[in-house]
Amino acid sequence: MSYLFTSESVSEGHPDKVSDQISDALVDNFLAFDPNSKVACETLVTTGQVVLAGEVKSNTYLDVQKIARDVINNIGYTKSEYMFDGNSCGVFSAIHEQSQDINQGVDRAKKEEQGAGDQGMMFGYATNETENLMPLALDLSHRILHELAALRRENSEITYLRPDSKSQVTIEYTDDNVPFRIKDIVVSTQHDQFLEDDNEMLAKIKADVISILIPRVIAKLPASIQALFNDSIVYHVNPTGKFVIGGPHGDTGLTGRKIIVDTYGGKGAHGGGAFSGKDPSKVDRSAAYATRHIAKNLVAAGVADEVLIQVSYAIGVAKPMGIYVNTYGTSNVDKADGEIAEIIETLFDMRPASIEERLKLRQPMYLETAAYGHMGRENRIVNKTFRNVDGTEVSFDVELFTWEKLDYVDKIKSAFNI
């Protein structure tokens, strides 16, 4: 029997994502001037206010107020009428030094013996239902908002958009777990009060979403996914009514409240730890990236059509407690999931220092992860420049989303005789 599955996404202007981006901008700046920085930064945003808190061990000093304001302005909160803008909001910092009790469990004389920055379990997931091996409902939700943000910045076809928005996609699957149609699409977007009549204004927004936004999204999809769009899709556009008050003025935002948006949209699993604001010694982040890397390469190599990987750690201990594999009955090799896990352990060193080295996680690479998902993104190299409060300037060629590389496919095929 067929079934429905839904995933959501939120835009870069959503208050929780504003917080994530500020926290990750701080991580990037600390790593840019001191690659060995230990960072755990949280951000709260609300009407006219930003609060920064957390623990840091670093040899550099940053103008955290300027970093926060630059992020807010780049997102698009640049007008006082939003009741939250980068030039006028208050920024309060309560960042202090990392606890020595925690630090002693992480730093080691030998780098390879570096302990995990916390206990916990982390999950990675991949499925062959999309080209980037991500769940389709989440991938489409991200694409809708990414294209909506592009339209907002172009300010040509649609001129009334504000930064805050959300999307949601419901897909019907066959009983063989194959997506065969899109049932519902939800788009809620903040907007100017550009017409006096609210009903007329909402009708205009819905028409623009259906006739301008969605065709732009479809045009960038492969033909197999384009075929899932149909005339019977139910569009819920700003279903509560007008959405003028939004962003941190409409809702308080906090770092780490959108972890399912950040990962797999409810497919697979999530260990519970957030990513943004944390340097890679925190396995909540680095091991989640490493398990995605493993899962993606396993699916790409043909080991299974769908894979979930779990790894777990004890704080201060380098070697993980164990690795778990679930192929959901889609394995294409003559091995049990436990046997697959044993082979993975021989191919991937999951000690924290090894993960950092393999995925190049000491780069200032994290601001780009903090909106539109950490997984399923394009691996690419960009040049980034950072300026410190003392006038120091550094530039880097930074490789983004290294965990999305398919660089272990050949090794996996060899190990599994594929």
pLDDT, block means (10 residues), the chain with 418 residues: 96 98 98 96 98 95 96 97 96 82 54 76 97 98 98 95 98 94 98 97 98 98 96 97 96 97 96 95 96 98 98 92 96 97 97 96 98 98 94 95 98 96
How high is the pLDDT of residue 114?
Answer: 79
165 annotated ligand binder:
yes
How high is the pLDDT of residue 141?
Answer: 98
**Cα 384 to Cα 32, 143, 146, 363, distances in angstroms:** 9, 24, 21, 10
251 annotated ligand binder:
yes
242 annotated ligand binder:
yes
How high is the pLDDT of residue 108?
Answer: 52
* 250 half-sphere exposure, CB direction, 13 A CA radius: 20
Tokens of 364: 């200032």
> CA nearest 269: which of 319, 236, 308?
308
98 annotated ligand binder:
yes
Q: Write down all domains in the chain, each with its CATH number in brackets.
A: 3-9+136-248 (3.30.300.10), 15-108 (3.30.300.10), 120-127+269-415 (3.30.300.10)
323-342 b/e (C-beta count within 10 Å ≥ 16 → b): bbbbbeeebebebebeebbe
How high is the pLDDT of residue 118?
Answer: 81
Tokens of 8: 């959501």
How high is the pLDDT of residue 117?
Answer: 74
410 annotated ligand binder:
no
Give the C-alpha separation, 223 to 281, whole Å: 41
183 annotated ligand binder:
no
Cα-flanking dihedrals φ and ψ of residue 52, to 5°?
-110, 130
Distance of CA 141 to the CA centre of its chain: 13
Q: Tell me the torsion sign for CA atoms 184, 185, 188, 191.
A: negative
- The single-letter DSSP state of residue 280 is T
Contact by Cβ (8 Å): 353, 366: no
249 annotated ligand binder:
no
243 annotated ligand binder:
yes
164 annotated ligand binder:
yes
